[in-house]
Amino acid sequence: MSTTKTIHTRPFAGQKPGTSGLRKKVAEFTQAHYLENFVQAIFNMLGDCRGKRLAVGGDGRYYNRQAVQIIARMAAANGFGKLLIGRDGLFSTPAMSCVIRKYATDGGIILSASHNPGGPDADFGIKFNGANGGPAPESAGEAIYRQTLSIDKYLILDSEDIELGRIGKTELGGMEIEIIDPVADYAGLMASIFDFDKISQLLVNRRFHMCFDAMHAVTGPYAREILEDRLGAKPGTVINGVPDESFGGGHPDPNLVQARELVDRMNGDAPLAFGAASDGDGDRNMVLGSGFYINPCDSLAVLAANAGLVPGYGEGLAGVARSMPTSRALDRVAQSLEIPCYETPTGWKFFGNLMDAGKITICGEESFGTGSNHVREKDGLWAVLFWLNIIVESRKPARSIVREHWQRFGRDYFTRHDFEGIDSARAAEMIERLRERASGLAGERAGELRIQAADDFAYTDPVDGSASTGQGVRIFFDDGSRAVFRLSGTGTANATLRLYCDKYETDPSLMELDTQRTLAQSLQAAGEIAGIAEFTGRTAPDVIT
């Protein structure tokens, strides 16, 4: 017989959700009561949980399994009616969104720190998604945080661990538990959007070679099922396809540095035709043509411009959206399609209302995120299938598709410079100073450039009217370039300063220039205005994308 226990606890400082839920070091999460406090705060935010239905699972990183067991016991003790758990406690983030929507649960809990490394000395994370399948909006995040500040007890069942590996139904303290295979639900959704027959013809053609790097993370089983088993890509197309709790010792971050094995296959003497990688929880994607890196901002614009080639979007797009720091390539597509383009703060949670209200169909971010209203999360494999569908319909390689896009719309050169592990107080001071000065910067000279306008980005949600301020300082220069400053909300140690820079070019002869050189003047001017060297002690970024 299992019994419900009331455990007395005290608040922990700093349980405020960031850009995407709560992310901390494993050592912090595994302290007694730490995870439990946050989970109870979520349940308290939900109100009366009796009879409610919840999905739970994560990206398989260290502590995933133990966390699922704790959440199951707490859900039962709090009176939930049903818990859907991904087999072995695994769920990719987009599959979680798919399952919440398909089975109409009241929400879901995702255990992931996304692209951050995993393992006992690395990172862990937790976030709550609502009944629409999307990340909790800022107001719900605030409500959870408020709960964490006054929490004094949580409820948990005193019971044995549940068996996570067997598909089927069981029971825990009066709550139904169903272990499901989210891969099947997700693959079914993809088959309803894309032309699987045509993509399959492309993939079984042994002259079209592609590679998908799952980076030892959660998308391995999804990519194998869809690309190899259903679409007939040759075995071995998916590399690093077995989820590992420390991601093979690497960072599951789909970029040119971390996805080195993939990058090697896309270059050299016999480069593959198409390559892609996704992150820890499967919502990010990087796509590569033969010897050709496709910037996420360009990828988003290309998908929107070619959506008519994909069966699921044949009826056209209601509108599109991008996060503010993302380049304005998408805006140009929207203009030509005569549809609205929304500019939101960084964070997928800001797209949810727009999708629910039918205002947008496709959206994305510079941080390797693209998605649509098929779920309420960004979706890495979806983007890969979208690209394959465009390649097969247009009969052009990825590189030509992007180049023709630039010729037609002009090119938005884009880069992001990250200054990692900097002193949090100094970083905050730097941003604060920029904010204070922003409104008076217009007209000032910075190096070779003159500032046309500057502001501190604020957003009012057009659906519910909620306002979000302090979302990044924007500086517009007189050569049409733009620099944006903000602090990352996903790190687990010190602060990361992000400097984004983009510049529009329409001269067809200037479409193939080096991005860093093209943006050098604006980057330097931005660095001087902000005093990056002075505040961070750094003269160069740690990561450039």
Using alpha carbons only, what angle is made at residue 383 by residues 377 and 388, rounded to the nearest 5 degrees?
160
Hey, how many other C-beta atoms are within 10 angstroms of the C-beta on 25?
A: 16
Stretch that binds ligand G16, among 365-373, 430-438, 449-457, 525-533 (CB under 6 A): 365-373
Please, which residue, 114 or 306, has the CB nearer to ligand G16?
114
DSSP letter at 346 equals S
Binding status of residue 114 toward ligand G16 by CB under 6 A: yes
Give the shortest CB-410-to-ligand G16 separation in angstroms. 24
Q: Which one-letter amino acid corresponds to residue 52? A: K
Site for ligand G16 in 20-39 (CB under 6 A): 20
Give the shortest CB-363-to-ligand G16 separation in angstroms. 10
Stretch that binds ligand G16, among 60-68, 151-159, 314-322, 343-351 (CB under 6 A): 343-351
| Contacts by residues 450-454 (CB-CB < 8 Å, ≥ 24 positions apart) | 450/477, 450/478, 451/475, 451/476, 451/477, 451/478, 451/529, 452/476, 452/477, 452/478
Give the shortest CB-73-to-ligand G16 separation in angstroms. 26
Please, which residue, 284 or 359, has the CB nearer to ligand G16?
284
Please, which residue, 18 or 86, has the CB nearer to ligand G16?
18
Give the H or E element holding residue 519: helix 515-530
Give the shortest CB-369-to-ligand G16 separation in angstroms. 6
Binding status of residue 421 toward ligand G16 by CB under 6 A: no
Please, which residue, 38 or 406, has the CB nearer to ligand G16?
38
x/- map, 130-159, ligand G16, by CB under 6 A: ------------------------------
- Does residue 336 carry a catalytic annotation? no
SS3 419: strand
Hey, how many other C-beta atoms are within 10 angstroms of the C-beta on 460?
A: 11
Stretch that binds ligand G16, among 65-73, 226-234, 244-252, 344-352 (CB under 6 A): 344-352
Hey, how many other C-beta atoms are within 10 angstroms of the C-beta on 228?
A: 18
The count of residues interacting with ligand G16 (CB under 6 A) is 16
Encoded tokens for 225: 């099922």
Binding status of residue 367 toward ligand G16 by CB under 6 A: yes
Selecting among 114, 278, 299, 367, the annotated active-site residue is 114
Binding status of residue 347 toward ligand G16 by CB under 6 A: yes
Binding status of residue 252 toward ligand G16 by CB under 6 A: no
Site for ligand G16 in 277-306 (CB under 6 A): 283-284
Q: How far is CA 239 from CA 216, 463, 469, in A?
A: 8, 42, 42
Give the shortest CB-11-to-ligand G16 separation in angstroms. 24
Answer yes or no: are the C-beta atoms of 418 and 494 closer than 8 Å.
Answer: no
Binding status of residue 416 toward ligand G16 by CB under 6 A: no
Length of the chain: 545
Please, which residue, 59 or 225, has the CB nearer to ligand G16?
59
Stretch that binds ligand G16, among 98-106, 341-349, 448-456, 463-471 (CB under 6 A): 341-349
Binding status of residue 327 toward ligand G16 by CB under 6 A: no
Distance CA 11, CA 501 (A): 40
SS3 286: strand
Give the shortest CB-367-to-ligand G16 separation in angstroms. 4
Answer yes or no: are the C-beta atoms of 234 and 228 closer than 8 Å.
Answer: yes
Distance CA 25, CA 32 (A): 14
Q: How far is CA 216 from CA 219, 229, 369, 532, in A?
A: 8, 19, 19, 36
x/- map, 452-491, ligand G16, by CB under 6 A: ------------------------------------xxx-
Give the shortest CB-486-to-ligand G16 separation in angstroms. 7
Stretch that binds ligand G16, among 7-15, 37-45, 195-203, 340-348 (CB under 6 A): 340-348
Encoded tokens for 417: 């410079």
Coarse DSSP helix, strand, coil percentages of the chain, rounded to the nearest 5 percent: 35, 25, 40
Answer yes or no: are the C-beta atoms of 114 and 280 closer than 8 Å.
Answer: yes
Stretch that binds ligand G16, among 59-67, 162-170, 312-320, 342-350 (CB under 6 A): 342-350
Binding status of residue 414 toward ligand G16 by CB under 6 A: no
Encoded tokens for 254: 């789909």
Binding status of residue 346 toward ligand G16 by CB under 6 A: yes
Q: How far is CA 175 from CA 49, 65, 89, 309, 451, in A?
A: 12, 19, 17, 45, 61
Answer for which of 63, 348, 409, 500 binds ligand G16 (CB under 6 A) is: 348
Task: Please enumerate in sequence order all residues whose Cβ is within 8 A of that of 425, keeping only pairs 6 or more positions apart, or say none.
Answer: none
Give the shortest CB-162-to-ligand G16 separation in angstroms. 27
Q: Helices (DSSP H) in 348-417: which residue ranges?
A: 352-356, 380-394, 398-409
Please, which residue, 447 or 489, has the CB nearer to ligand G16?
489
Answer for which of 15, 19, 147, 278 binds ligand G16 (CB under 6 A) is: 19
C-alpha neighbours within 13 Å on the C-beta side of residue 532: 23
Nearest-10 Cα torsion for 298, 301, 303, 309: -130
| List of residues contacting ligand G16 (CB under 6 A) | 19-20, 114-115, 283-284, 346-348, 365, 367, 369, 488-490, 498
Q: Which residues are part of the catalytic machinery?
A: 114
